[in-house]
Amino acid sequence: MKFFPDERQFWLYHGAAMGFIAAVTLLSILLFGRLDAQNLASTLAWMPPYTLAVLGFRWLYQRRGWDRLAMGRLIPIVIAYGSLSGVAVMAAVAALVMPFFWDQISAGQKDFNALSFLVRNILSNGLQAQLFICAWAFVYISAAAAQRAREGELQNLRLQMSLKAAQLSSLTDQLKPHFLFNALNNVRFMIHEDPERADAMIVALSELLRYSLESSQKSKTRLSEELAITEAFVSIMRTQMEARLDFRLSVAHELRNCLLPPLVLQLLVENAIKHGLDHLPQGGLLHVEARDEGARLRLIVGNECPLNAATAVPGLGLGLPNIERRLKLLYGGRASLDIQTRPGHFQVELSLPKEYS
C-alpha cells in the first residue's frame, strides 16, 4: 500500500479534521493565553508532522495486520503510538519554530536552561498532540472496520449471485432433457404411422431445441417468445393427439413484452398434457391465459384431467418443483406458483413481478 493515499475523499476528511483541530487550538489560546506570532507559527508548523504521524499509524495498521487484532489489544497499541508520535510531533514543531523565536523566549530570564525548557514544552504539548493522534486513530479504525464490513457484504452478494447463476444453469439443464425426452417420445409414436406428420414434428422440435439453446444464455425472456415456442410444442402434441387436444390462448397484446424465466410456460403446458389430457380417452381443453394485475403478471395454465387425478395433484414430478426453485432463485419471495384443483380440473397459476424488456 502507498504511504500517501491517492483517494481524494481521504484528504478532504483529513483536511477538515486538521482545520477543526487548528481552530480548537487557536480558540484555546485566545481564551487562556495570548495569541502571538509564535503560537500562530506553532499551530501552522504542527500540521505537517501531525499528518506524517497519522499516516504512519495508517501504514502500520495495514502492513502489520493490526486490523485483525481484537479491540482489547488494539487500544494499548494506539495509546502507545499516540504517546510516542505526540512527543515526536512536538519535537518537530519545536525544531521548526523555536529557532526563529529563541531570543524572544529567553529574553529577561535569568539562569535560563534551554534543554529543560525544550523538554517541558515538548512533553506538555505532546499530551495534546497524543490526544489528537489517538482520536484520529480510533476514527480511522472505525471507518476501516465499516469499509471492511461493506466489502465483505459486497463479496458475499457476489458469491450468492454466482451461486444462483450456477443453480439456475443446473436447473435449466435439468429441464431441457425433460421436455426433449417427452418430445422425442411423441415423434417415436408418429414416425411409423404418418411420416409427413413426424417430419413436421421434427421441424417443430428443432425450433424447441434452438430456443432452448438460446435461452440457456439468459435468465429471462419475453412472453411473446415463450408463447411462440409453447405453440410449437402444442403443434407437436396436436399431431399425436389430433382432435383430443383443444388448445385456447388468451393473452393481451400489451403483455407480450413482459419478462419471465424461459421454458417455464412451455413446461407448464407439457405437464398439463402429460399428466392431464393424455389420460382422458376423449381428450379435453387446455387453456393458457395471461392477466394484467397492475404491478404483477399472472399466468394461468388449466386443463381437464381424470376425476380421480385432480385430488392427487398431478404434474409434481420433475417440472413443477424445478420451476418453484427457479422462481425462488430469480425473484426470492416476489413470485409464487399456486396449484388449484377440483374434480376433473387442474390449474397452475404463476404470479410474477411485471418486468419489461
* 97 and 197 share one domain: no
Identify the domain boundary among 157, 175, 206. Answer: 157
* 103 and 229 share one domain: no
* 199 and 147 share one domain: no
Q: Looking at this protein, which amino acid is placed at residue 141? A: I
* 217 and 332 share one domain: yes
Taking each helix axis as running N to C, give the angle between helix 8-32 and helix 114-190, from 0 to 180 degrees, rounded to the nearest 10: 150
- Could you give the 3-state DSSP secondary structure of residue 293? strand
Q: Looking at this protein, which amino acid is placed at residue 273? A: I
Distance CA 17, CA 23 (A): 10
Which contacts (CB < 8 Å, 24+ apart) does range 195-199 have? 197/239, 198/239
- Is residue 170 situated within a structural domain? no
Q: Is-contact 235 257, C-beta < 8 A?
A: no
Identify the domain boundary among 100, 133, 157. Answer: 157
Q: Cα–Cα distances in Å, from 352 out to 13, 220, 229, 332?
A: 46, 12, 20, 11
Helical residues (DSSP H) of 33-113, grouped into ranges: 37-63, 71-106
Retrieve residue 125's grid coordinates.
Answer: 504539548
What CATH number does the domain containing 323 carry?
Answer: 3.30.565.10
pLDDT in tens, the chain (357 residues): 688 888 888 888 888 888 887 887 778 777 776 667 777 888 788 889 989 999 999 999 988 888 888 888 889 999 999 999 989 988 888 888 888 877 776 665 666 677 777 787 788 778 888 888 898 899 889 988 888 888 878 776 665 665 555 555 554 554 456 556 766 777 777 787 778 878 887 888 788 778 777 766 677 889 999 998 888 888 877 877 778 889 999 998 899 999 998 888 888 888 888 888 888 888 899 999 999 999 999 999 999 888 765 444 444 455 677 788 878 878 888 999 999 988 888 999 999 999 987
- Is residue 302 situated within a structural domain? yes
Identify the domain boundary among 137, 157, 177. Answer: 157
Q: 224 lies in which domain range?
A: 191-353
* 138 and 238 share one domain: no
Helical residues (DSSP H) of the chain, grouped into ranges: 8-32, 37-63, 71-106, 114-190, 195-215, 223-241, 264-275, 307-310, 319-331
DSSP 139: H
- Is residue 185 situated within a structural domain? no
Q: Cα–Cα distances in Å, from 78 out to 83, 138, 247?
A: 9, 8, 76
- Is residue 175 situated within a structural domain? no
* 56 and 205 share one domain: no
Retrieve residue 351's grid coordinates.
Answer: 404470479
Domains of the chain: total: 2
* 55 and 147 share one domain: yes
DSSP 3: S
Distance CA 242, CA 186 (A): 12
- Is residue 182 situated within a structural domain? no
* 196 and 153 share one domain: no
Retrieve residue 20's grid coordinates.
Answer: 477543526
* 211 and 332 share one domain: yes
- Is residue 321 situated within a structural domain? yes
Q: Looking at this protein, which amino acid is placed at residue 317? A: G
Nearest alpha-carbon partner for 193 in 242, 229, 121: 242
DSSP 215: H
* 16 and 153 share one domain: yes
- Is residue 55 situated within a structural domain? yes
Cβ atoms within 10 A of the Cβ of 33, count? Answer: 9
* 136 and 44 share one domain: yes
* 147 and 201 share one domain: no
- Is residue 179 situated within a structural domain? no
